[in-house]
Structure 1
């Protein structure tokens, strides 16, 4: 694109035919996205309504625990969700006859308790007759409140799952007993607590992410207006992505859980802001070269379009590799995240340029949008009346509009060069105020700290990349100490001392076999039942075994030649010890193949999920590497550079795992990590980490065509340094926001991605890659023409 001519050092008024066409295109893009946003916004607000957080729904139909669950349906009309109430004295003294009245009242009143829609708890139970089971030490009673699984999954009036509402209602009633401590735990209790935590994603996580991004953008841009434009664009991208995901989840195309929804929020804000930083930086650079701002935005889009599209494609395709997972939860995270990245890319290449291109009347538009957006966020996190805020927002918006009108009139009649003249607030440049980029002014990016750093890389490239690689290798060595063998459900909350289900589980284990109420299920052929019972009894960790009996006759039930046994384990059902028993049972049954014995139940579900995670690591990680390598080869039209990039990102990944192992073991004192942690960390770190190398190398290749490879590397590092490190800070900060949720798994993912992104942005991309490429020279582009000689256009 030819640069616009003009003798003035200030931008000319946009009156060209191409400029008017660009303005109309901007208006069209803005209107289109506003229409899409008006459709997606209401759906985004209901996204948590289509979540599924039950572990059993994550497994494929071929999993052994899934097959057992299907067999159970033939033995009983309905399966149940056990909610366990553990009754003790607060001081753990023995229960006495004096407590009988309160206990009897509790057992009788629980089925009569009213829910939000006016229905009774008893309408959802398998039986309204509740029976207490005393502990051997006489200090506790266990009450199994079995909720019909079909009725429990219904949504009641306030949108809550029935079993979660039942759990919370029982807890509210339990606190009325002054002399007893009643804790509600079991699978139903834990699931209700998880739903409560994930329900906070709509509000707390979104608000925290927006605030963090806003603070960083204000610091980066140092402008009272410019930070709002990328932030509003990112919010729009999230609304569009959430609307699409809602439609897909509501129609059963994918399974949405709380984890994937949380990742969607931070990923859209992080990736979207990264793309906006790249575009705005390039736009500022082009405004020093073009007098007409629409020409500058066109040149900026042309310059960043390829790396942004390549970045989003790399990230999206890498995330879509999660479709190869055996777990529905992992499968959903891939498409959900990919939708978010693509929405962010489209918004930042269309809606954001439109806002940047608009004249200064965008300011009053923002004055109306900002109160609306903030009001929407407050509406998600508080029940307080928003009328006062709306009044203040309306007054602020009206004041801004009046000031804009006055400002516009003064501007029209202002003398050239005056304080309100077009030269001070030119079209397409006003958002950068007070540091408005002018035509012909030197770009300070070429003389700042990044220029000095690139000079250091150019003087001592080998020392730079070797020393950097050695430091990363040291941290990578600690990756072998990472404990990713799973975390018990009772240990998955960071605030477990405040979670009733966690407290209740600890009380239960103190007085009963840990697996009581969450029994393991074994099915087998009737002819081999004695052998199966013998194997179960001989397996360490089993507390008790009973056959499933006909409720009417009391005789063991046989269905199509199959029998079912309920096995109580000694260890808590969510513990690693209990999962080990599952593995031992399945191994022991292999010696009696005619029995076709299978093991299911909550503990077996967790065991199968862990096994699937191990399988997914071995399949998905190599696939992601191959896919990303192919994309980089196509993008850079070379073999050596892509191999170097993938190698450095792998080194960064293992260094991050090593640093995480140190932090998890010695700083945060986490009990361990979920088996899916290394996989998620890899997918996000590799897919997102390679972005910065794409941003760098595409600019380096562009400059290499003009200056030669080595000088192109230094120029590319200089001009991209600030924007890429700023993007790294934004992305790291958004993922670190996951720490607001009291779940170990999300905090670990957030910490790992944040740390890995910072390593990529500040170490790998800043020193390792440019120094290594500089040391190799033009051969880095082999086998393209740039590898044979430096070509100058």
Structure 2
């Protein structure tokens, strides 16, 4: 790092580094596609076969006449659908037949006699469902284009477009719901948030940097570094996506943007802080940047490596969206590390002390010289972290009290995490005014919610009616359809079952094993029973996610433990550093649930959020521990351990607090989006970062270090010996 620092700080080196990043960004952006142009919203949900996927495959192959992705056009008239309304709907159906919507089959309502059509109304006569079936495997953008064409066609069939009428208007209205409508709305929500999230994240980082450092130039340096990293990352991911080497969706890119700006700014601040400290002591900015890179690069590289390893462990996941985080996120952090260790120091070298304008750090000699030139009295000054000094002294005076108090507080919050209710209901993450959610509410209130997504039961049997009878006996079965015969296998049948409740709810998912057991008992062969549909897919999501948690969490902990052990060479420190960050994770879950549930009325959070949050909170939280412990370790070589702890807390307090606030703020930007899964994830992750920043790092970790004393270094005998010698010198 000294050699790298010497090159970067050289007269030509700094410009070579800057030019290299500019050329790299230009070439990549001019020759490769952007990441958002290669988003794959149709990527596999499960990487290994599940029962519901097997069911979907069988349906497509053996029941192709009645398979596909349904869009349910839910018609509603508050005062009841009149004959005139129904005739208009029939004319609309005829118009859709002529519109030739790609990959869609429209139910020919115009061929149904009016009396027969009336029989399909809800009991109160207010609601009618018109199914439109899109072919299996149809891309989401094709479905979206089809639904848009359907809405445009309504302009000709109706005086007022029913798609645009408000729910409380009292006029005839329609909403597109069902699996097709829900998938289109989900993609639309994430794509709408891309630009908002990027600008919101940049703005919040800029504001925090301006407030913390009060320097307009310095506030731009980290953003330039992260910005160049982003310009390099996006086309690289786009090229890999186009080559089908990796896949990612809009949700993954949204979270990656937050991670990049939050973690990237942190790495820049670690270096900037060391640079400013050295400028107070060194006249040469070249020497200052070399020393800064030498002292900060280890902690920065270790912090980044921890995050990269944690992200790559996600490759173990069987759940697609979790697995797809691994490579893009790992690449993003790796490139950000390169930028923070090359581009950012080059910028600091070019700008020099002016980076910190108007609060420019100068050595005592420089301050004296400047005062003489202005004819003013000499007042040498160097900023002191009074709060950090106070916290450091408090920790070494009362380590037991502080350790016990923080553990009790965090332990209580962690205990609350066991009371969290989880959901896999996609609709629950939508804003109330989304068309698919409004359509679902109409179905729930006036028809049967199970009609939104029927359960498909597939089995091999020579007595289809016995299977149907077994399904009709289930207390939660609202409607059981007639058995459908396979196109190539006389023994294979499909029976569609409408539940009497929300098919996306936890209660509905809990019925899937019972449905399979009821059919298995009837046929006598559990291996030839497949359950398909959205409810079954959510049940498999729940099971696969739980399986992933059982593997990923221990592996992440194991790798982080190994990295810490390699870096610190202390078994004791490694154990309590890992333990404290785990405690902060569970505490974040508990506090996040209190805020979301009791503060905002959230009934349940998405089931895969704990795994998402775990990887980010544990990996990013360990960054701050590494940075602080590195400072304590370094000081313990030359001073008594207690003094090293106090100085280490004071020395790192400002930068870690600043970095933690910025990182938490970037994740909090997710809460401004109209997507509940990101709101919940952003809230819990931001809380985890804040707990690490204001409780674990300044109080719990140094308190435990003070309690353990020299044994915090065990089994590194050399450092224990140095500590003992420093203690002896301190006591004469």
Say whether the 8 Å CA contact 1:548–1:556 is kept in structure 2. Answer: no
Deviation digits for residues 346-366 of structure 1 (CA, Å, limit 9, x no counterpart):
11111111111115xxxxxxx
Structure 1 106/27 Cα, relative in aligned 2: closer, same or farther at 3 Å? same
1:226 aligned counterpart, secondary structure: helix
Say whether the 8 Å CA contact 1:681–1:752 is kept in structure 2. Answer: yes
Alignment match, 2:108: 129
Structure 1 604/562 Cα, relative in aligned 2: closer, same or farther at 3 Å? same
The answer to whether residue 81 in structure 2 is matched with residue 144 in structure 1 is no
Alignment match, 2:653: 721
Alignment match, 1:688: 620
Residue 295 of structure 1, CA deviation = 1.5
Q: How does 1:162-201 map to 2 (within 5 A)?
A: 162-171=142-151, 174=154, 176-177=161-162, 179-201=171-193
- Aligned match of 1:229 in 206, 218, 221? 221
Residue 649 of structure 1, CA deviation = 0.9
Say whether the 8 Å CA contact 1:82–1:144 is kept in structure 2. Answer: yes
Range with bigger deviation, 164-173 or 235-244: 164-173
- Aligned match of 2:13 in 21, 25, 37? 25
For 2:52 and 2:680, the matched residues in 1 are separated by 28
Deviation digits for residues 61-119 of structure 1 (CA, Å, limit 9, x no counterpart):
42111111111121245842211111121xx2222222233212221223445xxxxxx
- TM-score (norm: length of structure 2): 0.89
Query: Where does the alignment leave 5 or more consecutive residues of structure 2 unmatched?
Result: 111-116, 155-159, 166-170, 368-379
Range with bigger deviation, 678-687 or 528-537: 528-537
1:203 aligned counterpart, secondary structure: helix
Alignment match, 2:634: 702
For 2:8 and 2:312, the matched residues in 1 are separated by 40
Residue 560 of structure 1, CA deviation = 7.2
Alignment match, 1:492: 429
Structure 1 558/567 Cα, relative in aligned 2: closer, same or farther at 3 Å? farther
Alignment match, 2:505: 575
For 2:246 and 2:292, the matched residues in 1 are separated by 37
- Aligned match of 1:451 in 389, 396, 408? 389
Structure 1 583/172 Cα, relative in aligned 2: closer, same or farther at 3 Å? farther
For 2:497 and 2:47, the matched residues in 1 are separated by 24
For 1:746 and 1:20, the matched residues in 2 are separated by 39
For 2:276 and 2:241, the matched residues in 1 are separated by 40
For 1:219 and 1:522, the matched residues in 2 are separated by 60
Alignment match, 1:521: 456
More helix by share: 2
Aligned length: 686
Deviation digits for residues 343-399 of structure 1 (CA, Å, limit 9, x no counterpart):
22111111111111115xxxxxxxxxxxxxxxxxxxxxxxxxxxxxxxxxxxxxxxx
The answer to whether residue 687 in structure 2 is matched with residue 749 in structure 1 is no
- Aligned match of 1:344 in 336, 339, 345? 336
The answer to whether residue 495 in structure 2 is matched with residue 565 in structure 1 is yes
Say whether the 8 Å CA contact 2:69–2:136 is kept in structure 1. Answer: yes
Deviation digits for residues 294-353 of structure 1 (CA, Å, limit 9, x no counterpart):
121111011111111111111111122221111011101222222222222111111111
- TM-score (norm: length of structure 1): 0.82
Residue 248 of structure 1, CA deviation = 2.7
Alignment match, 2:415: 477
For 1:331 and 1:619, the matched residues in 2 are separated by 13
Say whether the 8 Å CA contact 1:540–1:581 is kept in structure 2. Answer: no
For 1:527 and 1:109, the matched residues in 2 are separated by 43
Q: Name the Cα RMSD after superposition.
A: 2.5
Structure 1 39/750 Cα, relative in aligned 2: closer, same or farther at 3 Å? farther
The answer to whether residue 362 in structure 2 is matched with residue 438 in structure 1 is yes
The answer to whether residue 25 in structure 2 is matched with residue 37 in structure 1 is yes
For 1:629 and 1:531, the matched residues in 2 are separated by 56
Alignment match, 2:376: none
Deviation digits for residues 659-691 of structure 1 (CA, Å, limit 9, x no counterpart):
112112210111201111111121111111111
Alignment match, 1:207: 199
Q: How does 1:59-138 map to 2 (within 5 A)?
A: 59-77=46-64, 79-89=67-77, 92-113=78-99, 120-121=100-101, 123-127=102-106, 129-130=108-109, 133-138=120-125
Structure 1 532/708 Cα, relative in aligned 2: closer, same or farther at 3 Å? farther
Query: Where does the alignment leave 5 or more consecutive residues of structure 1 unmatched?
Result: 3-16, 114-119, 155-160, 360-427, 550-554
Structure 1 587/246 Cα, relative in aligned 2: closer, same or farther at 3 Å? farther
Say whether the 8 Å CA contact 1:19–1:295 is kept in structure 2. Answer: no
Structure 1 589/221 Cα, relative in aligned 2: closer, same or farther at 3 Å? same
For 1:102 and 1:501, the matched residues in 2 are separated by 22
For 1:146 and 1:780, the matched residues in 2 are separated by 65
For 2:583 and 2:553, the matched residues in 1 are separated by 14
Range with bigger deviation, 39-48 or 305-314: 39-48
Say whether the 8 Å CA contact 1:201–1:261 is kept in structure 2. Answer: no
